[in-house]
Amino acid sequence: MKLLPAGRVIVIGSVNTDRILRCPVLPAPGETVLAADATLGFGGKGGSQAVAAARMGAATHLVAKVGRDADGEAALADLRGAQIETGAVHTHPDAPTGQAIVMVEPGGENSIVVVPGANARLTPEEVTAALARLHLLPVDVVLTSNEVPAECIRATAAALPAAGPNGGTRWLHNTAPAGDLPGPGPTGRRPLVVANAVEARQLTGAATATEAARALARLAEGAVVTLGGEGAVVVTGEGLTRLPAPAVQVVDTTGAGDVFCGALAARLARGAALAEAAATAVAAGAFAVTALGARGALPRPADL
Ligand code: RIB
């Protein structure tokens, strides 16, 4: 049997500094609550997806933008320390590094407000140039999400080579924060959509997560809908697979979806079948909720 080389994971996404507030309850509109404490952490959906993929053993590249400031320098140093290839992480001279206020309640649920800053200044030209330099291969996996401008997602779609008889570079699109689904690029490539249950229902108007997953799959190459503690459901042309999650002690659900996406991309880049890769991603997402912060618990393969 001929073994294929492992593919790379290429993440196009956001980099944020997270200020994490542990709150007794999440504030309702008009309400003031007193947090137990505030801590700073590295975050941003793209940054965390990339670090999660690298932890799972993938050669990982990040296409992103930070500010020319102390947060940006710290974020870059952290990404490089995590073995991420940061040649396409740009620095904006004026816009600050993205920030997020993350409020977490004792049950682990959160509310997040993001100030995009430099993330909103990533340009489609920068994405196109980065992907051209990487010479995408059929074994590579490209991962996008909605914290960078929609034109950057369209530039990604346009840069994907046409699929050959055995498929092509895999494109995963994470619909977080909830936003429109990207249309196909000029070569007709559509993404495999990764959404949580809320996003999936918002995008499709379906009453249940399972119906939403089926509806999303019809609009894309397939759909993976995460269900929190219930695991995930995968829908492709071949049918529907339910993947249960292991029971864990939940500390903070922040970033669980990012770890899920990073692990899914890493396993697909290793040639795993989608259901098998998604099962690993469910376990990775469950691991991620056991500590505070988006990067508090990032699994290595041996942890799963
Ligand atoms: O998914 C969690 C992430 O959302 C946080 O790290 C925050 O930065 C926002 O991007």
Q: What are the boundaries of each domain within the chain?
A: 8-13+47-89+122-303
Residue-wise pLDDT tens digits, 61-116:
999 999 999 999 999 999 999 999 999 999 999 999 999 999 999 999 999 999 99
Reported pTM: 0.96
Q: Which ligand 1 atom sits closest to the C-alpha of 14? A: 10
Q: Residue 103 CB: number of other CB atoms within 10 A?
A: 20
**Tokens 């990032």 sit on residue:** 298
Structure tokens at 200: 């999936």
How much distance in Å is there from the Cα of 63 to the middle of ligand 1?
16
- Counting ligand 1 atoms within 8 A of each CB, the residue from 11, 18, 65, 289 with the most, and so the one to mutate, is 18
The C-alpha atoms of residue 108 and residue 253 are separated, in whole angstroms, by 5
What are the tens digits of pLDDT across the range 176-227?
Answer: 998 889 988 888 889 999 999 999 999 999 999 999 999 999 999 999 999 9
Ligand 1 in reach of 285 Cβ (< 6 A): no
8-13+47-89+122-303 belongs to which CATH class?
alpha beta
- Nearest CA to 64 among 133, 19, 7, 116? 116
Residues in CB range of 205: below 8 A, 6 or more apart: none
State yes or no: is 258 an active-site residue: yes
Phi, psi of 25 (to 5 degrees): -145, 160
Separation CA 137–CA 119 (nearest Å)? 26
Tokens of 71: 């947060």
Q: Nearest 5°: phi and psi at 82?
A: -90, 10
Question: For residues 271 and 139, is the Cβ–Cβ distance under 8 A?
Answer: yes
Measured from the CA of 17, which atom of ligand 1 is nearest? 8
Residue in 184, 182, 214 with CA at minimum distance from that of residue 200: 214
Burial class (CB in 10 A: 0-12, 13-18, 19+), 31: exposed
